[in-house]
Chain A
Amino acid sequence: MSSDSTSQSLTIASELTAARQVEQYLMTSLRERSCPQDILFAVRLALEEALSNAIKHGNGLDPSKTVTVKFSVGPDKLQIAIADQGDGFNPLAVPDPTTDDHLEQPNGRGIMLMRAYMDEVAYNSRGNEVRMVKCIRPSSSKQAG
């Protein structure tokens, strides 16, 4: 994380209401930097998906476990790291939700959306922490509609 970035670390309970507060906090920070609407949409979507995965699948909604959210807002990019206290998983083992076999499944689209809307998405080797990067200049190559 660069030295001219605004960096923060938050630890929240394994509750979706706490995730919503983190999301609102980060969105406010990005709006203050006049981020374009498509960037706000993309970051919010990826953050929602990652936090939901950490709380529900990582920590299993266990109230004794927490989720740590670190983010850094620099002049041209946003970095987010979300870690849960679960056993982790292999993201490469998650099936492609767009295949005919999985299209009617109600779940399994979150990681795909994170990858589609962020510029970088990477998991640690244990699979309980995801790091995401989004270029936040208007000239970003990925547009969110």
Chain B
Amino acid sequence: MELSVDRQSDITIITVTGSVDSIDSDALRIFLDDIIVAGRTRLVIDLIAMDFIVSMALGVFVQTFTRLRAADGFLRLAAPQPAILRVIKTTALDRLLPIYDSLAQALE
């Protein structure tokens, strides 16, 4: 897993590249925590280059989503590959997490 961060106006864009397994999920949680602690509450996670995910990472998304919602911010997921989207839909998290077809749409 590789993580990178960028900003577009007041939105922080996190790009996740590669596989996110159980070990990576902890690193992802810490990475997102640090961004939120720094005061960023409007996050978009770009999933276009993510090719594997486990339930722990889904849990990180859920925790981040609820935390930002409580802070009047948001978490949006952008451009998941079909295999990743299927995992999300299997767990019904497409009912909870805002998912956009592209990064551009998530930034609107």
The chain A residues found within 8 Å of chain B, CB to CB, are: 16-17, 19-20, 23, 38, 41, 44-45, 48-49, 51-52, 97-98, 103-107, 109-110, 112-113, 116-117, 144-145
Measured in the bound complex, the distance between the Cα atoms of B22 and A44 in whole Å is 12
CB distance A103 to B22 under 8 Å?
A: no
Tally of B interface residues using CB under 8 Å: 26
CB distance A104 to B96 under 8 Å?
A: yes
A16 CB to closest chain B CB (Å) equals: 5
Residue of B nearest to A109 (CB): B55
CB distance B22 to A98 under 8 Å?
A: no
CB distance B56 to A52 under 8 Å?
A: yes
Of residues 47 through 88 on chain B, the ones whose CB sits less than 8 Å from some CB of chain A are: 52, 54-56, 58-60, 62-63, 66, 81-87
| Residue of A17, A103, A106 ringed by the most chain B CB atoms within 10 A | A106
Name the one of B54, B82, B83, B90 contacting A52, with C-beta atoms under 8 angstroms.
B54
12 contacts between A and B (CB under 8 A): A19-B22, A20-B22, A48-B21, A48-B54, A97-B92, A98-B92, A103-B92, A104-B62, A107-B55, A109-B91, A113-B54, A145-B82
The chain B residues found within 8 Å of chain A, CB to CB, are: 21-23, 52, 54-56, 58-60, 62-63, 66, 81-87, 90-93, 95-96
A73 CB to closest chain B CB (Å) equals: 20
CB distance B54 to A45 under 8 Å?
A: yes
CB distance B62 to A106 under 8 Å?
A: yes
Residue of A nearest to B82 (CB): A145
